[in-house]
Amino acid sequence: MQKATLEGYKEFCSSEKSVINMVLSRAKQRGNSAALSGFINGKKCSYTWKDLTSIVYAIAHFLISKGLQKGDRIAIFSKNCPEWTLADLGIQAAGCIPVPIYATNSKDEAKYILDDASIKAIFTGDQEQYDKILQIMNSTSLRMIVSLQDAVIANGENSFYFNEIIKALVDDDRKKTVDVRINELSSNDMLTIIYTSGTTGNPKGAVHTHASFLAGIYASVFRFPEAGPGMVSLAFLPLSHVFERMWTYGVLLKGGENHYCRNPKDIMEILPLSKPNYMCSVPRLWEKMYATIFDRLESAPSLKKKLFNWATTAGIEYDTKKRAKHCIGPWTGIKRFFANVIVLKKIRQIVGGNVWVFHVGGAAMSAEINAFFNGLGIPLAQGYGLTEFFPVAVGTAATAYPGVCGPILDIVDVRVSDEGEIQLKGPMCMQGYLKQPEATREMFTQDGWFKTGDVGSIEEHNGNRYIRITDRIKDLIITAGGKNIAPQVIESMIGEDLYIEQVVVVGDGRKYISALIVPNFEMLGEYAKSKGIQYSSRQELISNSAIVEFYNSKIEKLTESLGQVEKIKKFTLLPTEFSQENGEITPTMKIRRKIIQQRYKDVIDKMYNE
């Protein structure tokens, strides 16, 4: 694996100057090959590299013509689509600063960002997002709205359509106007403001420069010498998240084709159409896929079940030995060959059949599930990073190890504090939080290390360093007996089950650990029907003693490897999912523990008072 160096990064940063310059300088070499592609009703629709260049210039010139100055902030409030990236690059080409807003945010959440960042213009996605902005526009600094979709019904002279803007002819004089803005950019200029998910209060705007993003791109691309023109990456995670957005820039740098999944719920339909080599993902996707596979296996004929178990065992054995660089005997190789031909190859078609490596981040992932998919020939590499400091650890198909994140990037320094906190130094760190100097200072130690808030350790495998994350410092539960419990580990174990949609572990200051569990009601409904259980509401269903026992047996089995103090002694099934609308989860699906514990205080107290 080629090493990245600080000297190499400085040279890269000096030559590229800005993210937009990096992308456009490559676009000139790539002509009419596809750059960005989406899927509409199962049909692929693409923008070529030539299209990308002309559209970026058209957007930039439009913004300049409307009086937007260098450094003005412009938001993007949309689901994933090729136009999201085109808007992002067009904003940068105008010398302005793109500020993503999660497509699922409420109008109040969006307004907070518009006000905090003093947003002058905004690109919106569908009708819902457009309407939210229109309702609050007059009470913000917004001057105009640009709809990325023609189907949106726009109102007012300050609303424009993306497709009308990009039709404008950009002649040499207009191109020169844009080039002046691009050439004025330096690596130390602000690139973007990315708002944290806000698990403990209002989100904070992490300010990143072109230099901090170029650091992450530079350090990561060294890990993938195979990446280049002809490769395909699928944007599944929201582009408003630092993970997907920075990876997209890396794909464009390497000349690959970036595909877009507009709705995460459609991922299983999009994967066979896209056939991606790369994809950024979250553990939940693989947990549900794993649970679905084994749930369907339960009703399969005995012979088919035995064949599947034999093939996957052979695949896992082969991959584990290869990954650890142990000797692979001829019998192990022969078993894997036939397992692949008969079973594994067919399963890989579910995700398109062309996987090089799929990245996983955002939460802890079960080592068992990770090893299972690796054994299928779907290598999953857990990475690590934060909105404020991204990336930190990036794995490849060959270097990823189940249960840990990494390897750590060459230009990142990592240490573990006496309290067990992972702390970082490196050029991909943010400049600070927008307009919050005190909050910024709190994120750094006196000797200048960034405090992640994550509890973990550093491990070595085959000469590479990895990070093992166990929990968030603020999430650690201390029981009445003084035992420290990591709730995310327990939640990850329970969340693997197909019949469990959401879980929150509680027990801080209590005698034992309990849990709030939201069932997967679609699956639970099918189970109830198969057992002849009648019900007229969700509440009646989850109150049924047979259903409670069904979940009790599942929880006991899922947590059997835990110590006694970590085991869940009591749980309550809830009829309603935790939602972003109710403030219980963040746009990135992280749990807002304090809010949930306050909202369900009576339910929690009941589990300890019975």
Distance in angstroms (rounded) separating the CA atoms of residues 71 and 193: 11
Indicate if the pLDDT at residue 298 is higher than 90. Answer: no
CA distances from 546 to 115, 531, 540, 550, 552 (A): 51, 10, 12, 6, 10
Q: Give me the sign of the Cα torsion angle 35, 39, 42, 45.
A: negative
- Stretch 68-81: mean pLDDT, rounded? 98
| Residues 72, 119 contacting (CB under 8 angstroms) | no
A 10 A CB-CB count for 519 gives 24
What does the alpha-carbon distance between residue 133 and residue 108 come to, in Å, rounded to a whole number?
10
Q: Picking from 113-117, 289-293, 349-353, which range would have the lowest pLDDT averaged per residue?
A: 289-293
Domains and CATH numbers, the chain: 31-185+224-242 (3.40.50.12780), 282-376 (no CATH), 476-609 (3.30.300.30)
Q: How far is CA 441 from the centre of its chain?
A: 27
The reported pLDDT for the residue numbered 201 is 73
DSSP summary character for residue 585: B
Question: What percent of the chain clears pLDDT 70, i.e. is strictly above it?
Answer: 99
pLDDT of residue 431: 98
Average pLDDT over residues 19-31: 95
pLDDT at 283: 92
pTM: 0.93
**What's the confidence (pLDDT) of residue 378?**
98
Contacts of 77 (CB under 8 A, 6+ apart): 101, 103, 105, 110, 122, 123, 124, 125, 129, 132, 133
465, 477 in Cβ contact below 8 A? no
- β-strands 500-506, 278-281: how paired? unpaired
pLDDT of residue 222: 82
Residues in the chain: 610
pLDDT at 364: 82
Q: Which of 193, 67, 86, 76 is nearest to 130 (CA)?
A: 76
Q: What is the CA radius of gyration of the chain?
A: 25
Alpha carbon distance 596, 119 (integer Å): 31
User: What average pLDDT score do residues 535-557 get?
Assistant: 97
Report the mean per-residue pLDDT for the chain: 95
Comparing C-alpha atoms, which of 479, 510, 501 is closest to residue 591?
501
Over residues 142-187, the pLDDT tens digits come to: 999 999 999 999 988 899 999 999 998 899 999 999 999 999 999 9
pLDDT of residue 445: 98
**3-state helix vs strand vs coil in the chain, percent to 5:** 45, 20, 35
CB within 8 Å of 53: residues ≥ 6 apart? 24, 27, 28
- How far, in Å, are 76, 135, 190, 225, 229 from residue 142 at the CA level? 13, 12, 20, 43, 39
* Tens of pLDDT, residues 379-425: 999 999 999 999 999 999 999 999 999 999 999 999 999 999 999 99
Letter for the amino acid at 50? K
The answer to which of 105-119, 188-202, 241-255 has the lowest mean pLDDT is 188-202
Query: Taking the CB of residue 542, how many other CB atoms lie within 10 A of it?
Result: 20
Half-sphere exposure of 255 (CA within 13 A, CB side): 15
Instruction: Grade residue 1 by pLDDT with cuts at 50, 70 and 90.
Output: low
- The confidence score (pLDDT) of residue 198 equals 67
Output the pLDDT for position 202.
84
Helix (H) or strand (E) holding 256: none
CA separation, residue 220 to residues 390, 459, 489 (Å): 10, 20, 28
pLDDT (mean) for 517-528:
95
- Say what the pLDDT of residue 476 is: 87
Average pLDDT over residues 119-124: 98
Task: Kindly tell me if the per-residue pLDDT of 199 is higher than 70.
Answer: no
How does DSSP assign 171-194, residue by residue?
A: -HHHHHHHHHHHHH--TTSEEEEE
**Is residue 450's pLDDT more than 80?**
yes
- Contacts (Cβ under 8 Å, ≥6 apart) of 139: 111
Q: End-to-end CA distance of the chain, in Å?
A: 58
Give the sheet arrangement for strand 278-281, strand by strand.
Answer: 43-48, 34-40, 257-260, 232-235, 278-281, 357-360, 380-382
Which pLDDT band, with edges at 50, 70 and 90, does 470 fall under?
confident
* pLDDT interval class at 459 (50, 70, 90): very high
User: Any residues with CB less than 8 A from the CB of 585 and at least 6 apart, and which?
Assistant: 578, 579, 591, 592
In this prediction, residue 3 carries a pLDDT of 86
The residues, ordered by sequence, that sit 6+ positions from 100 with a Cβ below 8 Å of its Cβ are 75, 76, 192, 194, 195, 238, 239, 240, 241, 245
Give the pLDDT band (50/70/90) at residue 2. low
